[in-house]
Amino acid sequence: MAPPCAALLLPALAALLAVPAAARAPPRSIAVVGAGLGGSAVSYFLQQHFGPQVQLDVYEQGGVGGRLATVTVNKQQYESRAASIHALSLHMQDFVKTLGLRQRREVLGKSAVFSGEHFVLEETDWYLLNLFRLWWHYGISFLRLQMWVEEVMEKFMRIYKYQAHGYAFSSLEELLHSLGGEAFVNMTRRSVAEALLEVGVTQRFVDDVIAAVLRSSYGQSVLVPAFAGAMSLAGAQGSTWAVEGGNKLVCSGLLKLTKANVIHGRVTGVSLHSSEGRALYQVHYTSSEGQGSAFYDMVVVTTALHPSRSNFSFQNFEPPIDNFPGTFQPSVTSVVHGYLNSSYFGFPDPKLFPFASILTTDTPALFFNAMDNICPVNVSAAFRRKQPQEAAVWRVLSQQPLDRQQLKTLFRSYYSVQVTEWQSHPHYDSAKSLPPIVLHENLFYLSGVEWLASSMEMIAVAAKNVALLAYNRWHQDLEKIDQKDLMHKVKTEL
């Protein structure tokens, strides 16, 4: 057959095969609550699966991008937090490529771990865990850590294959189980410290190195669950990148690409109705024009639901949807433009201060978790990092806002300080159960994945899963949901 003809026929044929016999019209309208990465990515994936005719309304109470945001210092923009993306983040890579954006290179700099009195560990290059020096200090612990993280990552990467074949999971437990069996599910129930000690990593290595990495990524201790810990350690181990121009460009770009209708308002709740025997969801919101509501066939919630969010309610659902456990960890980022007080770190001569990134040990007297000499979101080839004796832009992470005295301790003097307070990450507690993904027939909850690990790529993976799950459920393609033995299935399918 002539190639042009085959090219025309094949997509149609594929569509026929993909949709089960009782093919159903797509949903008329879908509401997405939140326009952070989760909301933007799920809109994009939902449109890929259901097609462009579906009306997509995305509700956002603040700025598009959510926790991906920048601050401006001296006419240049800097990531105010979610900064670095692991090299193996395949969905994030795809987004950047699809949107015609570019990856921004990491400007090399040295890092070290500070105890409040001195540096317990000094690095010779940026990647905290990749060093000969670590090997020298901690010997076999370092190797064991690497092997442990690599094994977890290798299993985690299976998700891309499953998703490429259209498989979805209706719960986080099912997802984990298919990636790494019961051992993976167990990794959400025990601490990273326990898991590492068990594979033979020493207590000293846990205290000096693992603690520092977790303080800088989650602002928490080595008691975070092993799975979240592994993801954060993977980030510290490999090379990382960011989006040229700012990570938030991915969100605005995806929403623009899908031509989603962004509604600036705060969603106050979702109530259940039915029409012709089908569930219909009414989304209630308040905006500058007052209160409003609209009806949808499907809703995806991409903002964290927890008890302190009592003003977001679900009505008419039986059984009721409430009771989301857990609390969130407050975290503060201060972007400071000023001169580092290198004396505080034991370097009276600022010219000799060698570090661009300072991590900390779990020391009660320390008032900050980590600080970095950061680069703008646009860096030219000629860019060089500011020298320690020059005024530079530092991002300081802490649990509490820094007071004047604390700022005066870290900086000899400064021009400006911009503070953002976040309810940033779940307060990880190994004993909690994981939140659900399916809240009702066509009502989904994306943000629960942060209880596994909190990162841009995890959110993107969850967005793809929710879109596939919504699609497979809509078409009652149950063979593509919660399938067992997927490793075997995807091998034989190709």
Ligand X SMILES: Cc1cc2nc3c(=O)[nH]c(=O)nc-3n(C[C@H](O)[C@H](O)[C@H](O)COP(=O)(O)OP(=O)(O)OC[C@H]3O[C@@H](n4cnc5c(N)ncnc54)[C@H](O)[C@@H]3O)c2cc1C
Residues 291-330, one symbol each (x = binds ligand NAG by CB under 6 A, - = not), give ------------------x-x-------------------
Task: Assess 66 for contact with ligand X (CB under 6 A).
Answer: yes
With CB under 6 A as the contact rule, the residue among 48, 55, 61, 409 that binds ligand X is 61
Q: Do the Cβ atoms of 151 and 86 come closer than 8 Å?
A: no
At 208 the three-state DSSP class reads helix
| Residue of 42, 77, 80 whose CA lies nearest to 58 | 42
| Token duo for residue 301 | 């919630």
**Residue 36 binding result from ligand X, ligand NAG, none, given CB thresholds of 5 to 8 Å by partner type:** ligand X
Enumerate residues 422-481 that contact ligand X by CB under 6 A.
422, 424, 447, 454-456, 459
Lookup result for tokens 């190994």: 430
Q: Tell me which of 18, 102, 170, 399 binds ligand NAG, using CB under 6 A.
A: 102
**56: contact with ligand X by CB under 6 A:** no
Rounded Cα distance between 317 and 438, Å, is 13
Give the three-state DSSP class for 231: helix
d(CA 50, CA 38): 18
- Stretch 258-317 residues interacting with ligand X (CB under 6 A): 266-267, 302-303, 312
* Residue 34 touches which of ligand NAG, ligand X, none (Cβ within 5-8 Å per kind): ligand X
Cis peptide leading into 319, omega within 30 of 0?
yes
Residue carrying structure tokens 């909190």: 454
Residue 447: contacted member of ligand X, ligand NAG, none (CB under 5 to 8 Å, by partner type)? ligand X
Cα–Cα dist 416/338, whole Å:
7
Distances (CA, A) of 239 to 17, 158, 433: 41, 20, 32
Amino acid at 246: G
Decide: is 20 part of the binding site for ligand NAG (CB under 6 A): no
**Measuring CA to CA, how many Å separate 344 from each of 7, 370, 407, 445?**
67, 14, 11, 46
* Class of residue 323 by CB neighbours under 10 A (exposed 0-12, middle 13-18, buried 19+): exposed
Instruction: Please report how close the Cβ of residue 218 comes to ligand NAG at its closest, in angstroms.
Output: 20
Contacted entry of ligand X, ligand NAG, none for residue 253, CB cut-off 5 to 8 Å set by kind: none
Question: What amino acid is encoded at 179 in this protein?
Answer: L
Told to check if 126 binds ligand X by CB under 6 A, we report no
Closest CB to ligand NAG belongs to which residue? 245
Least Å distance, CB 343 to ligand NAG, is 4
Q: Which of 54, 68, 175, 255 binds ligand X (CB under 6 A)?
A: 68
- Which one of the spans 32-40, 147-155, 182-190, 482-490 is the region binding ligand NAG (CB under 6 A)? 182-190
When CB distances are held under 5 to 8 angstroms depending on the partner's kind, the choice from ligand X, ligand NAG, none that residue 83 binds is ligand X
Interface residues with ligand X (CB under 6 A) are: 33-39, 59-62, 66-68, 81-85, 266-267, 302-303, 312, 331, 333, 422, 424, 447, 454-456, 459
